[in-house]
Chain A
Amino acid sequence: MTDDLAATATASPVAAGPDGATRRELVRSTVAAGAAAAVASVVPSLGPSTALAAPVGDIAVLALALRAEQVIVYAYERVLASGIVASPAARVLTLFLAQEHEHVDALTVNLVRLGGAVPSPPSDLAEFEVELRELGVKRSPVGLRNERESVSFLVRLEMAVATVYHFVIDQLADDKLIQTAAQIMANEGQHAAVLHELVSPGNVRRAVPSAFVGGVK
């Protein structure tokens, strides 16, 4: 991770992270591919008319990535706590949860260095489900009946988060942050492939179905 990002804080057009009231709006807009305007709509210094011409600001973009990571952490924790998933799959999920925590930590450190406000993670199931829908994941973790359904749910969420990073990498200005986001996006892609393998062992066409991960189709 970078040690000199604080120097870029003053260059950011965003003075502070968006407040909680705009969180759902942000995530929804990202997945709906209207994210640039949506982020700008919650950033006072950028009006919608300028959003398409200017970067939305590294602080707002990092906050968006952090929110997605918070959602996926909540999802892994909930699935693991349910007891539905047994070993060896549970060991894989535990490792991936730890890696998602590392993503959260890295994004938090950089967001704070830039002077941004760290968003709050989902506080309860209802808020989590709203966030899921806004990421484009329609399935709720409530009612997952078995290991296959639980892991498939996480695969969908991993791909949704990869799509968020596709937008994040498009919008970030700082080179080191871009590289870090790319490293994380690649890791999310790995998670999706490995989880797919748990659901459909030996079916590489399902595990790695596309030559391009996370783009808006």
Chain B
Amino acid sequence: MVSRGSRRAFLRTAGVGLAGSSSLLITACGGGSAVTKKLADEESITLATRASDIEILNDVLDLEHAAVAAYTAGIPLLSGHAQDAGAQFLGQELSHVKALTGAVTGAGGKPNRPRARYDLGNPRGQAEVLAMLDATEEALVDIYLDAIPKLSPGWLRAAVASILANEAQHISVLRAARGLAPAPSAFLTVNE
């Protein structure tokens, strides 16, 4: 069983829940039999696919752990609106970690743990911390854009894309705080 468990675990914590998706299918065809059929389809995902998804999810989980470390270290050096934003975004990164951890576990994998320490450089003052956080978010966007097409079940791609879009929002706020254009490109890239 690949996706049932991972899907439930991921979407439960993501708030884009299985309940929502189940009702999607029930709405679509008027009954629970469609849900059963959908889940049966997911059963057919191969073991190779599962291993690939677990590896990909663990890769992004590693960077999410790094983002949590970056915000945790950076927030005390921020003030005012920037500090409020940092606290809000830290909470959201923790939600991403929880969701991804659930997905890996649900797929039968072992979720990567945070490292004992991260090299965050030596940012001094708000401007340097914001730049460090922006760089961290851009690294996240980079790995998400690479990962999303490689994930197998469509629902998992979509759920991970919902995280990507949130990281993009973080970038907009951080860029605005740095005096930069918050959304300079119609197609989010890491080179913004």
B188 within 8 A of A: yes
Tell whether A185 pairs with B27 under 8 Å between CB atoms, given A179-B145, A211-B92. no
Chain B residues numbered 23-67 whose CB sits less than 8 Å from any CB in chain A: 23-25, 27-29, 34, 37-38, 41
A187 within 8 A of B: yes
Encoded as 1 (CB less than 8 Å from any A CB) or 0, chain B from 143 to 172 comes to: 011001110001101110111111111111
Partner of A187, one of B158, B163, B185: B185
Determine whether the beta carbon of B186 is less than 8 Å from that of A187. Answer: yes
Partner of B95, one of A182, A192, A211: A211
Determine whether the beta carbon of B25 is less than 8 Å from that of A212. Answer: no
Whole-angstrom distance between the Cβ of B89 and the nearest chain A Cβ: 7
Tell whether A48 pairs with B168 under 8 Å between CB atoms, given A33-B23, A187-B185. no
The residue on B at minimum CB distance from A174 is: B149
Partner of A207, one of B167, B168, B173: B173
B interface residues, tally (CB under 8 Å): 59
CB neighbours (8 Å) of B84 from chain A are 202, 204-205
CB neighbours (8 Å) of B24 from chain A are 33-36, 216
Determine whether the beta carbon of A208 is less than 8 Å from that of B92. Answer: yes
Partner of B154, one of A171, A175, A183, A184: A171
Which one of B164, B169, B188, B189 has the greatest number of beta carbons of chain A within 10 Å?
A: B169
Tell whether A183 pairs with B88 under 8 Å between CB atoms, given A193-B169, A210-B15, A215-B20. no
Whole-angstrom distance between the Cβ of A38 and the nearest chain B Cβ: 7
Partner of A216, one of B20, B38, B95, B148: B20
The residue on A at minimum CB distance from B144 is: A182
Chain B residues numbered 1-29 whose CB sits less than 8 Å from any CB in chain A: 14-17, 20-21, 23-25, 27-29
Dominant secondary structure at the B interface: helix
Partner of B166, one of A55, A100, A212: A212
Determine whether the beta carbon of B155 is less than 8 Å from that of A185. Answer: no
Determine whether the beta carbon of B157 is less than 8 Å from that of A170. Answer: yes
The residue on A at minimum CB distance from B177 is: A204
> Which one of A74-82, A129-137, A141-149, A161-169 contacts B?
A161-169
Chain B residues numbered 70-117 whose CB sits less than 8 Å from any CB in chain A: 81, 84-85, 88-89, 91-93, 95-96, 99
Partner of A183, one of B15, B29, B150, B187: B187
Dominant secondary structure at the A interface: helix
Determine whether the beta carbon of B165 is less than 8 Å from that of A213. Answer: yes
Please tell me the size bucket of the interface on A: 35 or more
The residue on B at minimum CB distance from A101 is: B186
A26 within 8 A of B: no
CB neighbours (8 Å) of A204 from chain B are 81, 84-85, 88, 173
The residue on B at minimum CB distance from A214 is: B162
Determine whether the beta carbon of A180 is less than 8 Å from that of B187. Answer: yes
Determine whether the beta carbon of A170 is less than 8 Å from that of B155. Answer: yes
| 5 sample A-B contacts, Cβ–Cβ < 8 Å, listed by A number | A33-B23, A36-B28, A181-B161, A208-B89, A212-B163
A positions within 8 Å CB-CB of B: 29, 32-38, 48-49, 51-53, 55, 95-96, 98-100, 102-103, 106, 162, 165-167, 169-172, 175-176, 178-194, 197, 202, 204-205, 207-208, 210-217
Given contacts A52-B34, A96-B183, A170-B155, 20 further A-B contacts (CB under 8 A): A98-B186, A166-B158, A169-B157, A171-B154, A179-B149, A183-B189, A186-B188, A187-B186, A189-B166, A190-B171, A208-B88, A208-B92, A208-B166, A208-B170, A211-B15, A211-B96, A212-B16, A212-B163, A215-B16, A216-B21
B positions within 8 Å CB-CB of A: 14-17, 20-21, 23-25, 27-29, 34, 37-38, 41, 81, 84-85, 88-89, 91-93, 95-96, 99, 141, 144-145, 148-150, 154-155, 157-159, 161-173, 176, 182-183, 185-189
